[in-house]
Chains A and B, each alone.
Chain A
Amino acid sequence: DSGVTQTPKHLITATGQRVTLRCSPRSGDLSVYWYQQSLDQGLQFLIQYYNGEERAKGNILERFSAQQFPDLHSELNLSSLELGDSALYFCASRDLYTDTQYFGPGTRLTVL
C-alpha cells in the first residue's frame, strides 16, 4: 500500500457526461500528479499541483481540469466525455526527501 488513495475504483459513464476523480496524497506530501494510462498512448503525465498551486501541465485536454484543495486532496474533472477518454487514471504524490513518486491504485474510467 503506497499511502495514496483514489476514489472511485471504477467509473462507467456515457459520452458527453462529466465525472470527478478524487485523490488523497500520502501524509506529508505536498505534490500531486495525475497520469493517464491508455492502450494507445501509454502512461502520460497530465498535470501537477504543489500545495494548492498548479505547477506543471502535460498533454491535458481542455475538457479536463484539476485542482488541489487546502487539505491537499486533489480532484480531476473530466467533461464532455468521449469514448477515447476511457483509460486508467493514476494519481501520485511525491516524497520531497526521497524524490520518489508513489502511485495510487487508479480509477478505471469506461465511457460507453
Chain B
Amino acid sequence: AQSVAQPEDQVNVAEGNPLTVKCTYSVSGNPYLFWYVQYPNRGLQFLLKYITGDNLVKGSYGFEAEFNKSQTSFHLKKPSALVSDSALYFCAVRHSKAAGNKLTFGGGTRVLVKP
C-alpha cells in the first residue's frame, strides 16, 4: 500500500533561516510524490511533484524538494524562510491508475516562521 509519513507535527524557524519539512514514503513500484500547502481558510495549493528524473525538484514560491530513494524520503526545503511561509504543509503519494490515481496524504506539518 502507498503511504507517506510526516514525522513532525510542527516546525519552528526564524525568518531568513533554512526551512526543511520532512516526509518519508512507502510505496510499491515507482513513487509519485507531491507537496501541497494550505494557508488558513484556504484550499490546498500545489507546490511541486516528483515523478521521475532529477532528484532535486524545484517548485513554486522558492520551494524545492529532494527525492532520496535509499532513505525513502522526499523532504521539502526552502533556503530562506519568510513569515508568509507559515502554513500547513502536506506530503502526498499518488496511487496507481487502477486505484484512480488518488492521493494519500501525510498528517501535515505546521510551519511557523517567526520574524
A interface residues (Cβ-Cβ under 8 A, vs B)? 2, 4, 31, 33, 35, 42-43, 45, 48, 50, 55-56, 58, 90, 92, 94, 99-106
Cβ-defined contact, A2 with B43, below 8 A: yes
- Chain B interfacial residues counted at CB < 8 A: 21
Given the contacts A100-B49, A103-B43, A103-B44, A43 and B34 also touching, CB distance less than 8 Å? no
Which 9 residue pairs are nearest across A and B when measured between Cβ atoms? A56-B100, A43-B105, A48-B100, A103-B44, A105-B43, A103-B43, A45-B102, A55-B100, A106-B43
Among candidates A58, A90, A94, residue contacting B44 with C-beta atoms closer than 8 Å? A90
By a CB distance below 8 angstroms, the chain A residues around B103 are: 33, 35, 45, 92, 101
By a CB distance below 8 angstroms, the chain A residues around B49 are: 99-100
Secondary structure dominating the interface of A:
strand
Among candidates B34, B43, B100, B107, residue contacting A104 with C-beta atoms closer than 8 Å? B43
